Structure 1
Amino acid sequence: MRQTRPRLFTARLRRTALTTGLAVATLAAATAVATPAHAVSSTLTCPGVIVIGVRGTNEAAGSGGGTYHYASGGFGGRLNLTSSVVTETSRTARRIALKYPATAIAPIYPISQQQGTVNLKNLVTSLGTTCSSATRFVLIGYSQGAHVIGDALASDSANRIAATYRSRIAAVVFFGDPTYRKGEPYNAGGAPNTGTWPKGAGVLSEFNSRLRSYCYTGDKWCQNAADPTDVHGTKYQTSAVQTAAKNFILSKL
């Protein structure tokens, strides 16, 4: 009897530990099911949303884009919301930085900008072909990056993305677009003038409800102004502008 009781006691401890462990595991599983699984970025080739960022002239490059593009990628310093959109959307999402020169010289701006437009068209076409229509796109560009996107979407562009893929673009955001035209319904920021190289009126009307073009008074490029306080270089990375743009995008997803 002296040996039996310790054995029974040990067996009870083991059963208690097993029961406790199962309870903890069950609680953890229940918690995992209750936690939304959407608030994380996806490494899938074809998630629900692909956010493409196009940096501005001379912004720092980094990793991003794909092997089928020219020059370097990177999001620069004004496209932080690409990350916020990916983590805050209710859908699976990933972000890609377009690879293109993003320079004003070597190569000069027109060559760099055109290369960016061609690269963007090729990128969206490639991803659109690879992924089903369930995958939507978001395009965000700052300065030259906005110019690049605009030329890939405009009705008068020779490098326009095909209609079948344009229809899958859920939202577009421009910051400090040098081709800004006053009076367009998608404009935001209250800037009163046109930009350095204003686009034709209505060439982006297909995107009136899906586009926001942020431009502010005094901006050197989207207002063709002197800009002594560097509105173009500082305004678009402020939390107010980034949050407004992010919320617009999320409302379209």
Structure 2
Amino acid sequence: MRDRAMDSTVRGRRVRPVRSRRAALAAVLGLAVLLPPALSACAPEPDAQATRSSLSKVTEPAAPPKAAEKFDAKKHPEPVAQPEYCTAYLVITARGTGEPVGNQLVTPVARRIAEARPGEMLTVDLFYPADTDINEGGTEGVRRLIDQLNVQAEHCPDQRTILLGYSQGAFVIGDALADPKDRLIGETVGELDAAAKDRILAVVLYGDPRFAGGEPYDVGTFTEKVGGILPRRAGVLAPFADRIRDYCVKNDFVCQASDSLDEKGHVSYYRNGMQAEGAAFVIGRLGPRERR
């Protein structure tokens, strides 16, 4: 693994973190799951108690996290992201807590989308800690994602963006799309420009801690009256409603807050067909193929 790249290739395109330096990865408890080759990935078995505890701490601190100062957009207005290549589409993946860069639940979703449109996609992993200190790491993630989208809109006005997130990654994406007053993390890190909002083509989320039952973009076997551990207020993501699919199953203790300590629901997306469904949703929203 190289310090400035961690590069791999998807259909001839470079795949690397949004910011090129070594990611500080949390330890992963690995549990292999057998999947079809097109949608294969390793599923980390979450520690339910630790996950619930880390999410509950988001609302507990008496003082704001250090990242709120470090990534304050008014005090530090210079973007913390550099523009990526101006491909037709940019896919940004945001991993869940402890997932490795480039091998996460949404990796095969991104791969299937790229395979549908060879040569038109650039896939990058959002660089952020994705560890159990969600106040700190999540704040950084929201700032980096907002800046990346704003920078891309300015430098690549014809590029459309696709956002894919799982668990904490879904939390980060949702709060980046929301107004600062509706966020639990990243209230100080700035907002998406109008152009950046317009260029978002599709958003696919899995196991979202901020899942709100009853939204028009919700998909799955969830109980409508039950939200996530930290549910969003209804209508917060309404401007993006037709572009979002938020997947949640009824036994996922993260998007369906419960006292259950069964971890299996939160990783069931690897094998329940929802990865393929999410990819199909995005592919259905792609525009005409580029002329060669």
Same fold (TM over 0.5): yes
The answer as to whether partners of 1:53 and 1:79 remain within 8 angstroms in 2 is yes
1:84 paired with 2:112, answer: yes
Say if 1:56 and 1:229 are closer, same or farther in 2 by CA, change over 3 A.
closer
> Could you tell me which residue of structure 1 aligns to residue 160 of structure 2?
136
The answer as to whether partners of 1:174 and 1:213 remain within 8 angstroms in 2 is yes
Deviation by residue 1:114-147 (Cα, 9 ceiling, x = unmatched) = 1111110111122222212x10000000000000
The answer as to whether partners of 2:167 and 2:207 remain within 8 angstroms in 1 is yes
The answer as to whether partners of 1:79 and 1:142 remain within 8 angstroms in 2 is no
Say if 1:80 and 1:129 are closer, same or farther in 2 by CA, change over 3 A.
same
1:177 paired with 2:201, answer: no
Partner residue of 1:186 out of 217, 238, 252: 217
Runs (5+) with no aligned partner, structure 2: 1-9, 15-83, 287-292
- The CA distance in 2 between the partners of 1:250 and 1:137, in whole Å, is 12
Say if 1:77 and 1:190 are closer, same or farther in 2 by CA, change over 3 A.
closer
- The CA distance in 1 between the partners of 2:12 and 2:113, in whole Å, is 9
The answer as to whether partners of 2:161 and 2:202 remain within 8 angstroms in 1 is yes
The answer as to whether partners of 1:53 and 1:75 remain within 8 angstroms in 2 is no
Q: Tell which structure's C-alpha radius of gyration is larger.
A: 1
- The CA distance in 1 between the partners of 2:241 and 2:100, in whole Å, is 31
The answer as to whether partners of 2:13 and 2:119 remain within 8 angstroms in 1 is no
- The CA distance in 1 between the partners of 2:147 and 2:141, in whole Å, is 10
- The CA distance in 2 between the partners of 1:239 and 1:177, in whole Å, is 16
- Cα RMSD of the aligned pairs, angstroms, is 1.9
Say if 1:41 and 1:213 are closer, same or farther in 2 by CA, change over 3 A.
farther
Aligned length: 198
> Could you tell me which residue of structure 2 aligns to residue 57 of structure 1?
97
Runs of 4+ in 1 over 6 A off after TM superposition: none
TM-score when scaled to structure 1? 0.73
1:119 paired with 2:119, answer: no
- The CA distance in 1 between the partners of 2:89 and 2:217, in whole Å, is 22
1:200 is aligned with what amino acid?
R
Runs (5+) with no aligned partner, structure 1: 1-38, 62-73
1:102 paired with 2:130, answer: yes
Deviation by residue 1:1-40 (Cα, 9 ceiling, x = unmatched) = xxxxxxxxxxxxxxxxxxxxxxxxxxxxxxxxxxxxxx94
> Could you tell me which residue of structure 1 aligns to residue 26 of structure 2?
none
The answer as to whether partners of 2:91 and 2:122 remain within 8 angstroms in 1 is yes
SS of equivalent residue, structure 2 residue 110: helix
TM-score when scaled to structure 2? 0.64
| % identical equivalent positions | 32
Q: CA deviation at 1:77?
A: 3.6
